[in-house]
Amino acid sequence: MIIILLGPPGAGKGTQAQRIESSQGLVQLSTGDMLRAAVAAETEVGKKAKDFMEAGKLVTDEIVVGIIADRIEEEDCKNGFLLDGFPRTVAQAEALDNMLDQKNLKLDAVIEMQVDDGALVDRITGRYTCSECNQGYHDKNLKPKVDGVCDNCGSTNFKRRADDNKETVTSRLESYHAQTAPLLPYYGDKGVLKSVDGMADIDDVTAQINDVLGNLS
Ligand code: AMP
């Protein structure tokens, strides 16, 4: 199964992708996570991407398409994958279509997570993750069961993303509306677009996504 999760920053793509990864056994491919790892490791890709990311702008299509093209060749992608944060431009979507065509693979669904812009700044500026296992949390909406201790792995170390601040969020939302929203009619025309209400609570969004996935197989 090949699935794309589409939605603005803060829509909950990462949280839902983690859940789908464990329930469906589909590997999550997050270009944001891959780019952050490249920046931290100071690779060539990381050096090229850093300034764009800090400014809340999209990294070039060439860089992200290259990352995904290499990644989907790996063994764990053989049974399908879930794309989180890619594609983000029509050029990236076209490049993905070509990659899938060449491998005789088909895109099963693009799941759009619909969230009002007004809710996104609060969602983004309040979020953080476990430094050890990457489990996501939020200051108000999703606290660990025991304060300061990760539910998943027991770690007491947490981190926040450098670009999860108010200024950068505005730029990221502008990029979404200008460059990524055109993917909605792109995939709508192909008949693969399914929308879920991303304003609902987290478990309810998961249930909506599971319904979509259940109706595919
Ligand atoms: P994310 O974790 O998906 O919010 O991505 C964080 C940042 O990484 C974005 O603001 C972009 O600078 C960059 N990025 C991630 N995915 C892409 C993509 N598909 N195309 C261009 N830039 C990306």
Beta partners for residue 2, in sequence order = 81
- Compute the Cα dihedral for 148, 153, 157, 160 and give only its sign: negative
Cα 181 to middle of ligand 1, angstroms: 14
pTM comes to 0.92
Give catalytic status of residue 127 as yes or no.
yes
Q: Which of 13, 50, 123, 194 is catalytic?
A: 13
Q: What is the pLDDT of residues 42-62, one digit of tens each?
A: 999 999 999 999 999 999 999
- For ligand 1, whether the C-beta of 31 sits within 6 Å is yes
Using one digit for the tens of pLDDT, what is the confidence trace for 1-15?
999 999 999 999 999
145 secondary structure, DSSP code: S
Q: CA-based Rg of the chain, rounded to a whole angstrom?
A: 17
Q: Residue for token digits 């770690």? A: 155
Q: How far apart are the first and last CA of the chain?
A: 9
* Burial class of 119 by CB neighbour count within 10 A (0 to 12, 13 to 18, 19+): middle
Q: Which of 36, 50, 172, 194 is catalytic?
A: 172
Residue of the CA atom closest to atom 15 of ligand 1? 32
| 187-214 per-position pLDDT tens digit | 999 999 999 999 999 999 999 999 999 9
For ligand 1, say whether the CB of 46 is within 6 Å of any of its atoms: no
CA–centroid distance, 147 to ligand 1, in Å, is 30
Averaged pLDDT score across all residues of the chain: 94
Backbone angles phi, psi at 177, to 5 degrees: -65, -40
What pLDDT is recorded for position 217?
A: 62
Distance 121 CA to ligand 1 centre (A): 17
| Ligand 1 atom with minimal separation from the 33 CA | 2
